[in-house]
């Protein structure tokens, strides 16, 4: 697992722009709020630049973004590296034929869907979300993409919560994050 180079001066600005909200969505949870990052134009630009610098020129033809905050970071990266953007969504949102992958939550399960035909066998894919916690949703995204024969090159997140060991649920897929929040 790689973390953004802590000596890169942009990282500190990004980390500082993220607001922590205690007890959301429930007591005891410290919620990492990236909406404040989006209000700092330099921090948002730097976030995208750091990902684009890492992934451009690597033959990645698909950026898959996990609903909903993956939709904020994924498209700018896709546009900059000339890749398709493919949304990975909750059930019943995508029109037309989809394939679905179930994943477990703390209590129960949920499903992630992707459009049939959006990604072809052999394509190189980057999966993006704002944050990795337990790795459940990212793991589901990797499995979905694997089922159509695509190769997930890496998962990329702005923030990681390392204590939740999400990295371990990604199988062989590497993880790259900008900020680690212990």
3-class DSSP assignment, residue 57:
coil
Rounded alpha-carbon distances, angstroms, from residue 179 to 112, 132, 158: 25, 11, 6
Give the residue among 177, 168, 166 at the shortest CA–CA distance from 134: 166
When the beta carbons of 113 and 154 are compared against another protein, the nearer one is: 113
Could you tell me the smallest distance in angstroms from the CB atom of residue 69 to another protein? 8
With binding defined as CB under 8 A, does residue 68 bind another protein?
A: yes
Contact characters 106-145, another protein, x per CB under 8 A:
---------x--x---------------------------
- Using alpha carbons only, what angle is made at residue 33 by residues 32 and 37, rounded to the nearest 5 degrees? 120
Residue 177: both structure tokens together: 């994050």
How far apart, in whole angstroms, are the C-alpha atoms of residue 116 and residue 103? Answer: 19
Residue with tokens 């992958």: 101
Which of 69, 89, 101, 154 is an active site residue?
A: 69
Nearer to another protein by Cβ, of 123 and 154: the residue is: 123
Residue from 11, 66, 86, 177 touching another protein (CB under 8 A): that is 86
Please identify which residue in the block is written with the tokens 């990797």. Answer: 142
Active-site annotation, residues: 69, 106
Which residues are near another protein by CB under 8 A? 19, 21, 24-25, 31, 33, 35, 38-41, 44-45, 48, 67-68, 71-73, 75-76, 78-79, 82-87, 90, 92-96, 115, 118
């Amino acid at each position: 697992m790689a973390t953004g180079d802590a000596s890169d001066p942009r990282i500190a600005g990004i980390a500082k722009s993220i607001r922590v909200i205690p007890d959301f969505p429930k007591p005891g949870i410290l919620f990492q709020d990236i909406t404040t990052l989006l209000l700092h134009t330099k921090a948002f630009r730097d976030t995208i630049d750091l990902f684009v610098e890492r992934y451009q020129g690597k033959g990645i033809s698909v950026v898959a973004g996990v609903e909903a905050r993956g939709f904020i970071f994924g498209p700018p990266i896709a546009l900059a590296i000339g890749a398709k953007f493919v949304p990975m969504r909750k059930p019943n949102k995508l029109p037309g034929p989809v394939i679905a992958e179930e994943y477990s939550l703390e209590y129960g399960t949920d499903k992630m869907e992707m459009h049939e035909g959006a990604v072809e066998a052999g394509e190189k894919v980057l999966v993006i979300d704002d944050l990795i916690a337990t790795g459940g949703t990212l793991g589901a995204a990797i499995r979905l993409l694997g089922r159509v024969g695509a190769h997930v090159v890496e998962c990329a997140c702005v923030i990681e919560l390392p204590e939740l060991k999400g990295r371990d649920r990604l199988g062989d897929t590497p993880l790259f994050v900008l900020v680690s929040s212990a």
